[in-house]
Structure 1
């Protein structure tokens, strides 16, 4: 088994509903682990707590109870100053790239600013060289550097979001519903890119989705969430072939899955820049 990179134990996460009122608990007593180089899917219906769990794992939401350890460090109660050295190693790709990319900045600035901030490039020239290299890695032309987000397609914007995350050479990436707004062909291209990057860079990844076929295509293990709790977990093939939880079975029955072809992504044509 791969070395554990990220581990949560007995995690409760919630949000305050008003002054002097108890917090509404959204994630309840969740325990999980993600190994280096492992892609773990988190699946469930809307409102099941998937995104809240993901944000807690990144230290963006402080849990009400439980612990989170990253690379052996307990990050559960760290303040922002203490978390800052770990931010480069923990990255997120957002669901809506148009909302997460600054519309006033060209892609060159969006990509080079984090490199300069985290000290991965000493000069703007070095930062541009690294950004160009990463754009090529995610299948975008260098001309994209001189464009604004609105001048790119949805799939291209999502690739910029992926580039922004992986160029910092993180250990862990959280991908939150990153293909839900894309057409089927572009979804397949982005999924193949995620698989290639995870394999080539040894990334640990949590992949949040409501789409069971997406989880099955890219993940090693899957966690099934319902009403803030994990109802089932295991290797993807095991869970999909013989689900133990009636809820998991209902999800599979609601979206019938074809007989899986493990090589379907590899046979797709290369993305056109």
Structure 2
């Protein structure tokens, strides 16, 4: 693997630690010394059951939660304990696509405003007209009509809202994107459309991406490597084909055995796309 764009070593996250009238509170440790790396242009999967710590890890990588120990480096810079002001210039380069797009889209704003304001804020558009033009072009790229700019989030379907979430992240020309369970709850056909769109944008933009999912078929279809998490620790990692075809961890084997299909189908995404064409 080439030099990682984003690398975390020994990451520990603890919630609720502090002091009280009765002394120190140890808190609840969610991540126990996690190591993970993502290279430019690489898509890495993070998989595990609910409560395994995968979402906390993703938020720690973006510095949305503080780490108690360890180091996070982005593009060679130690960002582990940068304050909000120091992190601000990096926020455009590190974007997140949320599981529930409705919760991340302001219901009182139009799609045009949701897509356009970040462009102006980060200096990527000189004025509102330039921002609208960029937003319209990106809508076309994610197969949505320009008329969507005038609509509100509640007027769109779940799949359309997820496309808006992807468009919002891509418009800021990031280097790293964290996608957290972004196709959970969508039907298989819509999942395939969203995932193929994300794969295409990732190739075009050379993105480094961390893809969080509990669905191993999704991970196999879109990721180059995978990290398997259990109880806040990495129990196995490696190229997807190797991990899924020859799992070394008993926990990974348990996850594979729990899949309702007899085996992981790495080609389902391409097959669904052909069926929908």
TM-score by length of 1: 0.96
- The farther-off stretch of 132-141 and 219-228 is 132-141
1:111 to 112, 115, 118: 115
Corresponding position of 2:266: 260
Corresponding position of 2:11: 11
CA drift at 1:259: 4.3
Corresponding position of 2:60: 56
- The farther-off stretch of 20-29 and 37-46 is 20-29
Unpaired runs of 5+ residues, structure 1, are none
Pair 1:2-2:2 in alignment: yes
CA drift at 1:22: 1.4
SS at match of 2:60: helix
| Residue pairs, 1:66-105, within 5 angstroms | 66-105=70-109
Unpaired runs of 5+ residues, structure 2, are none
CA drift at 1:214: 0.5
CA drift at 1:56: 0.3
Corresponding position of 2:45: 41
Pair 1:200-2:191 in alignment: no
CA drift at 1:14: 1.6
CA drift at 1:55: 0.3
- List per-residue Cα deviations over 1:117-170 (Å, max 9, x = no partner): 000001111000110111111111111101000000000000001100011000
Whole-angstrom distance in 1 between the partners of 2:266 and 2:117: 41
Corresponding position of 1:214: 218
- The farther-off stretch of 98-107 and 16-25 is 16-25
- List per-residue Cα deviations over 1:49-71 (Å, max 9, x = no partner): 00000000001111000000000
Answer whether contact 2:193 2:273 (CA < 8 A) is retained. Answer: no
1:229 to 233, 252, 263: 233
Pair 1:269-2:276 in alignment: yes
SS at match of 2:234: strand
Whole-angstrom distance in 1 between the partners of 2:211 and 2:201: 13
Pair 1:140-2:144 in alignment: yes
What is the total number of aligned residue pairs between the two structures? 270
TM superposition outliers: structure 1 runs of 4+ over 6 Å: none
Answer whether contact 1:40 1:223 (CA < 8 A) is retained. Answer: yes
Pair 1:170-2:177 in alignment: no
